[in-house]
Structure 1
């Protein structure tokens, strides 16, 4: 059943989030605005640092939070599993070259976020409960969209975006976050998934019921704390493997235009696949273009929309260019990314082949590589697996996590299994769900980063840094996304809908702690795309407003802060 659900979600995702046109649309929008606005991510970077430091803050400005609190809330929404699990997944799928495309997504995403936050802030509203509400749904509703000289209403698009935001609050903010936390805590401390889910669900409910002011107060403290903890552990790995730092950098750039070759247990990745996965995971990490961060920034105290757009420039830089690069160097310098490790197999990540394959055989490599990249297909097994004392006696190969599995053992109720297991189209048929499959294979997502952190000066204690860092990263993301969802619910059904939404959000958070990871990530990719597409169309449509907003900001700045140095706002 779970496999069928995942296959259905993968089919949907293949037409949107994982489709080639989507990543070109995302990068193309960032590239267009970068050129159109004359590289604002470079021109305004220093000024953005001054704005977020509070240099130009005034207490009587409209809004609910400071620039720094808005940045912290938005960062807590982006700095999460994408930085720990997402980077590991991107490299696992696309090799080191995928990290390069993540960084490129961030560089262009700095401009995309600058634009979407500015426009969102311009069209924000004061809602019935007195708080500020904004985001793409508000500029879609309030902006003057012109078509053939006539004003066009995009209210229906705003509604679709708000619905997608609610769905994405689960697919991005709730489900994958607690899933990664519970997996990491179980692997590190042996605490059952449901216990972690229950405890954190209670804490989550306590925070989000307090609204944006409590959320901002919590995230503004969590973000610096989690960054310090994570960087200490990360650099302990990088410097411990200092001899691999330069080769790691070389591997990121060497295969950018060719794809990554097979090495170790890694069976290779094409340029197209590395590009697609890198951009896709980059978007999940920094959310530039998705339209989520503008919702958080709409609460900031500011008269001028561009001042908040300045702050938004810093997000992809901090989130992806700094934190994701550090994570990538940890994975590459430690050498764990292409090694096989003992782990419990997830059935949605596993299939049985109808023959024996050897990863050291070039022809077998090419066949499996073609199958994994959907260029060709190999025969899948149909029949019974014969298992004796936990060992499979059939003469065949099992693929798990895109690698040939070794030392495969099957158990039931904690004891080695003996008997037969039906296999249909390569998938194990286990109606009772009692079978546990273990062995050596490649590892991805949070467990891979956890293993990497043990190759450091801290030794095995490094895994605790990942567990604690991931808990803080991912939990803060879940907090922020609850706010994005409640703003969307306010737009759709009014303030009274927020409390029921928070209850459902918290319950789903609990159940996702023990749900299959692969399905969660697939669902996340779909919901991200459903938000991103209408948002990108909207900001491209309103592109002509940006030069005027920049000009007006320059005039406002000269009037209110005479004599202060600033970039040319043209």
Structure 2
């Protein structure tokens, strides 16, 4: 079964799907006439400066808290381990292609959040429900409901694996290796903390995310900045390597086999999408709960998440790995730092930080992995619960919470090779119905965007 699923995964995450994801982002960027780039500063202002009009609009949480809840799901161990994997398998040039997919992904995220607001519905508790399943069914038509249900099924399962089990497994490994806490103890702690937050409802989750996410992101960024400042003279050479090897191969040397350009492109695109989730439709599951006077505003706020995750946090990680020389499996071509060639993923990032900051650097990464992982667990619960609600109604939502907590514990103590495989499968399957929805509703995206920016009142605000 694992072999069959792996073959399906190879196809889902192969060239056709990656081209479709990047192509959708490019198409949406073109029909929006580059709006995500032109209005980025305005989008940042909407995200981080409270708007009195938005605070009195209909919705369940503020723009900022909706963004933080979304970031809680996005800022996971993919931003630490995933970037290390991309650069060690694709070379420094992978970071360039990650930027490309991140910039194009801004249009995709914008469109997902915009449609989430337009087609959101109120549930029995008076809270808003949104997501690709709603804009597929209500935007394209009832006959597309099977496709909407397919997305909900894939996402509800993906939340148990990608957003939960594999995260608790990573946390348990770090707790054991760095702090000598056994897996079952970590599992119990995670279950208790997760239960206290998720059973408090969306508002408690968003309140926790509103404090938690900025703190953990700042901790990691400060640690990365320390490494960069100490090695400031290596920053320009690092960028030179990134831009050079985005288009030219890295030569082999000694036991080092080198990298071809196709590896850089594949790793950069796939890990970029994995880190910012543009195209998965996850942001649409929370964007509909935001208080805003216009759907376009929430779309703009949502797209800043891609910029924060890919252009800022992933770039920080990539630069640290390149500057310290830990991108090269043979031991480092820039600084000559010798390291264990068996290190990979998060352990490699931790060693890179530690090579400059000592034990402090290793602890910064270890603590970041724990907090990033936990934020992902609570963020993805929102996604899974929204999809479960669409499929079965609010009556059984507590059942999903119990299942979710069980996966949290199992992830801490079990071998998750099969769960990782299934998680990758369901993540890949989520993309198909979501992209179909976005492409078939592109006229709505284009029309609503043009109407918003043609409004003289909004023009005054933007000037």
Normalising by structure 1, we get a TM-score of 0.76
From the superposition, tell whether residues 222 and 64 of structure 1 become closer, same or farther in structure 2 (CA, over 3 Å): same
Aligned pairs for 1:158-197 within 5 A: 158-197=148-187
1:135 maps to: 131
Please point out which of 71, 74, 78 is paired with 1:75.
71
CA distance in 2, matches of 1:85, 1:235: 18
What is the CA distance between 1:116 and its match in structure 2?
Answer: 1.2
Structure 2 SS opposite 1:306: helix
What is the CA distance between 1:168 and its match in structure 2?
Answer: 1.3
CA distance in 1, matches of 2:166, 2:230: 31
Q: Does residue 446 of structure 1 match 2:441?
A: no
From the superposition, tell whether residues 9 and 89 of structure 1 become closer, same or farther in structure 2 (CA, over 3 Å): farther
From the superposition, tell whether residues 110 and 538 of structure 1 become closer, same or farther in structure 2 (CA, over 3 Å): same
CA distance in 1, matches of 2:224, 2:414: 28
The answer to whether the Cα contact below 8 Å between 1:74 and 1:293 also exists between their aligned partners in 2 is yes
What is the CA distance between 1:267 and its match in structure 2?
Answer: 2.9
The answer to whether the Cα contact below 8 Å between 2:88 and 2:329 also exists between their aligned partners in 1 is no
User: Which structure features the higher share of helix residues?
Assistant: 2
Q: Does residue 211 of structure 1 match 2:196?
A: no
Aligned pairs for 1:495-514 within 5 A: 495-514=394-413
1:119 maps to: 115
Q: Does residue 318 of structure 1 match 2:308?
A: yes
Q: Does residue 48 of structure 1 match 2:33?
A: no
Structure 2 SS opposite 1:301: coil
Please point out which of 296, 304, 322 is paired with 2:294.
304
CA distance in 1, matches of 2:162, 2:411: 12
What is the CA distance between 1:476 and its match in structure 2?
Answer: 0.8
The answer to whether the Cα contact below 8 Å between 2:55 and 2:292 also exists between their aligned partners in 1 is no
Q: Does residue 492 of structure 1 match 2:391?
A: yes
Please point out which of 207, 212, 232 is paired with 2:222.
232
1:235-286, Cα deviation, whole Å (9 max, x unpaired) = 2222333343222222222121234443576533332233222211111110
1:297-320, Cα deviation, whole Å (9 max, x unpaired) = 111012321110010120110011
CA distance in 1, matches of 2:271, 2:262: 14
What is the CA distance between 1:465 and its match in structure 2?
Answer: 0.8
1:305-345, Cα deviation, whole Å (9 max, x unpaired) = 1110010120110011110000001111111232469xxxx
Structure 1 SS opposite 2:103: helix
Structure 2 SS opposite 1:154: helix
From the superposition, tell whether residues 42 and 210 of structure 1 become closer, same or farther in structure 2 (CA, over 3 Å): same
What is the CA distance between 1:129 and its match in structure 2?
Answer: 1.6
Q: Which one has more relative contact order, counting CA pairs under 8 Å at least 6 apart?
A: 2
Please point out which of 350, 357, 360 is paired with 1:461.
360
From the superposition, tell whether residues 218 and 166 of structure 1 become closer, same or farther in structure 2 (CA, over 3 Å): same
The answer to whether the Cα contact below 8 Å between 2:140 and 2:437 also exists between their aligned partners in 1 is no
Aligned pairs for 1:346-357 within 5 A: none
Structure 1, gaps ≥5 residues long: 146-151, 342-438
Structure 2 SS opposite 1:544: helix
Structure 2 SS opposite 1:128: coil
What is the CA distance between 1:440 and its match in structure 2?
Answer: 5.3
CA distance in 2, matches of 1:266, 1:182: 32
CA distance in 2, matches of 1:565, 1:23: 37
The answer to whether the Cα contact below 8 Å between 1:237 and 1:452 also exists between their aligned partners in 2 is no
The answer to whether the Cα contact below 8 Å between 1:99 and 1:278 also exists between their aligned partners in 2 is yes
The answer to whether the Cα contact below 8 Å between 2:163 and 2:376 also exists between their aligned partners in 1 is yes
Q: Does residue 475 of structure 1 match 2:371?
A: no
What is the CA distance between 1:480 and its match in structure 2?
Answer: 0.8
Structure 2, gaps ≥5 residues long: 332-338
Structure 1 SS opposite 2:327: helix
From the superposition, tell whether residues 237 and 554 of structure 1 become closer, same or farther in structure 2 (CA, over 3 Å): closer
The answer to whether the Cα contact below 8 Å between 1:85 and 1:180 also exists between their aligned partners in 2 is no
Normalising by structure 2, we get a TM-score of 0.93
How much is the aligned-residue C-alpha RMSD, in angstroms?
2.1
CA distance in 1, matches of 2:4, 2:340: 28
User: Which structure features the higher share of strand residues?
Assistant: 1
From the superposition, tell whether residues 267 and 175 of structure 1 become closer, same or farther in structure 2 (CA, over 3 Å): farther
Q: Does residue 337 of structure 1 match 2:338?
A: no
CA distance in 2, matches of 1:51, 1:177: 31
Point out the more displaced range, 55-64 or 500-509: 55-64
From the superposition, tell whether residues 94 and 264 of structure 1 become closer, same or farther in structure 2 (CA, over 3 Å): farther
1:87 maps to: 83
Structure showing greater Rg:
1
From the superposition, tell whether residues 553 and 183 of structure 1 become closer, same or farther in structure 2 (CA, over 3 Å): same
For this pair of structures, how many residues does the alignment match?
455
From the superposition, tell whether residues 442 and 8 of structure 1 become closer, same or farther in structure 2 (CA, over 3 Å): farther
Q: Does residue 24 of structure 1 match 2:19?
A: yes
The answer to whether the Cα contact below 8 Å between 1:80 and 1:474 also exists between their aligned partners in 2 is yes
